[in-house]
Amino acid sequence: MSDGWLWLAALIALPALVIGASTLRLDVEHLRRLAVAAALAMLFVALGVAVSPSLHDFSILTSALSWAPGGEAIVRIDTLSATLLPLAAGLWVLTVAVTPRAALDRRGLRRTALATLVTLASFLTESAVVLLLLSVASVWTFLSALADPAHRYQRRVVAVYLGFSTLLFAVGVAVLVSPGAQGTTIEKAGMWLIVVAALVRKGIVPFHAWVPEVFDHGRLGPAILFNAPQLGAYMTVVLIVPRASPEMLRIIAILALGTAVYGAALALVQTSARRACGYLFMSQSALVMAGLDCTSVSALAGGLLVWLSAGLAFAGLARCVLVLEARRGRLDLTTYHGGYERMPLLAISFLAMGLACTGFPGTLGFVGQELLVDGAVDAFPVMGFAVVVASALTGLAVLRMYFSLFCGRSEALAHASMRLGLRPREAWTFVALVLALVGLGIAPRALVDSRFAASDEILRQRQENMLPGRQFSGGR
C-alpha cells in the first residue's frame, strides 16, 4: 500500500470515526471532545498532504465510470485539491471547537462530521458522477439540519433553490455524456446547465436569494459549513473551466463581479447581523468565481487564494457572530451593543477576520485580492475596478458590524458578574485562525507558489482540452 493510500485512509477515517461514535451511547461532551481531537488530527493530516509534493500526483483510476466526465480519476490529489483539504478540516475544527455546548447535540456532531466527509470526498474527486452524488449528499445533509418546524420555510427555500441546482447539474452531466453530444450545441447546452447549477449553488446574482434568507432566519452554523468550502467553485474548476468557451467564463465573471459589489453594498445596510453575514459571504465567494475567468495565471491564482482566505475568514467571522449570539441572543445592527471590555478577544478576532474578508493588508485576503486585480488589469480591467468597489464596501460593512456589536454603552449586557469572555477552547481556536490568516498574509510565498502551480495546471489542461477535435473528458 502506497503512502497516498495511507494518507487518504487517515483523512476519511477520522470523520467516519466520529460518525460511528455518534451512534454509540457516548456522553455528548465526550463525543464533542472526540470530534475536536479527530478534527485536529484531520487538519494535521491534511496539512501533511498539502506540504508533501510526492502526494500531489496521487490518483485512483477506474474504468467503471470512464463513460462520464472525469470518470477515470475517481480519486485524485493534485496541487489544487491538496490545499483545499486543510480548508475542509479547518472548518470542521472551527465548528466543533467553537459552537456553544448547548447548541451542539449528538445529531449535530454526526451531521458536522458527515458534512465534512462529503466536502472532503468532493475535493478528492474529479468525476462528474461522483461529484453529482456528493452534491446530493451535501444538500441532503444541509436540509436535514433545517428539519425542525421553526425552519420549515427556510428548508423549503433551500430545497427549491438547491434542488433546482442539483437537477440542472444532473441533467447537464447526462447531456454531456450522451452519445454524439461532443462538439455540438447539445454539449454547449449541457455546459450551460452545469454553469447555472454552479451559480445557484454559489449564490451568484440572480440566483442568490436563498443565501441571505438561510443565513438570517435559518441556522447559521450549518449554513457556514455548507457554504464556506464553496463546492460550487470546485464544480466550476473541475467541470466547466477545462472546456468552457472564453465567452462563457466571461459571463460567469461578470455575474460574479456584480454579485461581489451587490453583496457588499447590501451587507452595509442590513439591520440583522446574520443577514449581513449572508451578503458578505455572497460578496466574498463571488470573487473566487471572478478569478476563474482565466484571464491570466495571476488572476486565477488570486481567485484560488481568495477561495481559501474567504472560506476561513468568513467562517471565523460568522462563528464570532454565533458565539456572540449565544451570550446575547439575536443581534441587530441598529444599535450599539457594547461589551468590548468584557470580550476583548472576541472583538479583536471578529475585527481581524472581518478585515481578512475585506482584503486588508497583512492578511491572506489581501494577497488573494491583489493577485486577482494584478492578473486581470490587462485583459479585463473592469474586474480590477469591481474588486476595488467591493473591497471598499465590504470594509465599511465589517467595521459597521464591529462598531455595532462591540462598541457603545453596555447597559444591555447581562449582569456584571456574569462571565461573557471566551472559553479557552473558543479562545485558542479563534487565536489560531487569526494567526493563520495574518501569518499567511505576511509570509504567503509558499502558498502563492502552490496556487500558481495549480493555476498553471488548470490553464494547461484547458489549453489541451480546447484543441480542435478534442472530445470532452471532463475533469482536468
Partner 1 sequence: MSVPLTWLVLAGVGSPAVLLALLGGASLLNRPLPERWTASLAGTSMTVAFAAFFVAFVVRGTATTGTQLLSYGAWSTSHEGGIALEFLVDRLSLAFAALSAAIAGVVSAFSNRYLHREPGYNRYFVLLAMFVTGMLLIAVAGNVAVLFVGWEFVGLSSALLVAFFHERPAAVANAFRVFSVYRISDAAMLAAAVLLRHVAGTDSLSLLFGSGAGTTSGLAGPNATIIAVLLIVAVAGKSALLPFSSWLPRAMEGPTPSSAVYYGSLSIHAGCFLLLRAAPLLEQAPMARLLAGVLGAATAVFAGITTRVQSDVKSSLAYASLTQVGLIVVEIAIGWYTIAFVHLAGHACFRLLQFLSAPNVLHDLHGIEDAIGDRPSPVDGFLEAVTLNCARRRLFLIALERGFLDSALDRVVVRPFTRLARRLTLVDQWLCDAVLPAQRPVAVGSSEDRDE
- CA dist list (Å): 397 to 155, 343, 408: 28, 21, 17
On the 0-12 / 13-18 / 19+ scale of CB atoms within 10 A, 2 is: exposed
Residue 147 within binding range of partner 1, rule CB under 8 A: no
User: Is residue 441 involved in binding partner 1 (CB under 8 A)?
Assistant: no
Among 229, 338, 354, 475, binds partner 1 (CB under 8 A): 338
Query: Site for partner 1 (CB under 8 A): which residue of 303, 365, 395, 474?
Result: 395
Q: How far is the CB of 440 from partner 1 (least distance, A)?
A: 11
d(CA 319, CA 363): 18
Q: Is 337 in the site for partner 1 (CB under 8 A)?
A: no
Stretch that binds partner 1, among 102-110, 135-143, 185-193, 248-256 (CB under 8 A): 102-110
- In the set 33, 188, 250, 400, which binds partner 1 (CB under 8 A)? 400
Choosing from 56, 76, 202, 208, the residue that interacts with partner 1 (CB under 8 A) is 208
Three-state SS at 271 = coil
Does 431 interact with partner 1 (rule: CB under 8 A)? yes
Distance between CA atoms of 169 and 132, rounded to whole angstroms?
7
**Cα–Cα distances in Å, from 470 out to 51, 73, 82, 473?**
34, 18, 28, 9
Taking contact as CB under 8 A, which single stretch among the options 8-16, 77-85, 178-186, 348-356 is the one that binds partner 1? 348-356
Candidate list 118, 162, 294, 371; residue touching partner 1; CB under 8 A: 371
Tell me the C-alpha distance between 422 and 432, whole Å: 14
159, three cell numbers: 430545497
DSSP helix/strand/coil, 466 = coil
Query: Per CB under 8 A, does 419 bind partner 1?
Result: no
Contact status: 457 vs partner 1 (CB under 8 A): no
Q: Does 90 bind partner 1 (CB under 8 A)?
A: no
197 φ/ψ angles, rounded to the nearest 5 degrees: -60, -45
101 binding partner 1? (CB under 8 A): no
List of residues 6+ apart from 314 with CB closer than 8 A: 224, 228, 277, 280, 281, 284, 285, 353, 357
Please report whether residue 108 would count as binding partner 1 according to CB under 8 A: yes
- Report residue 294 as a C-alpha cell: 482565466
What is the DSSP-derived secondary structure letter of residue 293?
T
Q: Which residues, 272 to 331, sit near partner 1 by CB under 8 A?
A: 274-275, 297-298, 301, 322, 325, 329-330
Cβ neighbors of 334 (< 8 A, separation 6 or more) are 271, 404
Q: Is residue 77 classed as helix, strand or coil in its secondary structure?
A: strand
Q: Which residues pair with 272 in a beta bridge?
A: 332
Closest to partner 1 by CB, 154 vs 284, is: 154
* Residue 164 Cβ vs partner 1, minimum distance, rounded to whole Å: 9
Q: Please identify which residue in 24, 445, 467, 468 interacts with partner 1, judged by CB under 8 A.
A: 445
Question: Considering beta carbons, is residue 137 or 248 the nearer one to partner 1?
Answer: 137
Q: How many CB atoms lie within 10 A of CB 423?
A: 14
The site for partner 1, by CB under 8 A, has a size of: 98
Q: Beta-carbon neighbour count of residue 389 at 10 Å?
A: 14
Q: Which stretch binds partner 1 (CB under 8 A): 2-10, 61-69, 83-91, 402-410?
A: 402-410
- Return the DSSP state at 341: G
Among 49, 109, 177, 440, binds partner 1 (CB under 8 A): 109
Q: Give the SS3 label for residue 61.
A: strand
Establish if 160 lies at the interface with partner 1 (CB under 8 A).
Answer: yes
In whole angstroms, the minimum distance from the beta carbon of 187 to partner 1 comes to 30
CB of 381 closer than 8 Å to CB of 256: no
Selected range binding partner 1 among 126-134, 171-179, 236-244, 366-374, rule: CB under 8 A: 366-374
Give the three-class secondary structure for 413: coil
Contact with partner 1 (CB under 8 A): which of 378, 463, 464, 470?
378
Q: Are 219 and 248 in contact (CB under 8 A)?
A: no
Instruction: Using CB under 8 A, pick the residue from 187, 216, 293, 426 that binds partner 1.
Output: 216
Q: Which of 370, 457, 459, 462 binds partner 1 (CB under 8 A)?
A: 370
392 counts as binding partner 1 under rule CB under 8 A: yes
> Which segments of 152-245 does DSSP mark as H helices, in order?
152-177, 185-202, 210-216, 220-227, 231-235
413 binds partner 1 per the rule CB under 8 A: no
- Smaller CB distance to partner 1: residue 7 or 281? 281
> Rule CB under 8 A: which of 17-76 touch partner 1?
none
Is residue 258 involved in binding partner 1 (CB under 8 A)?
no
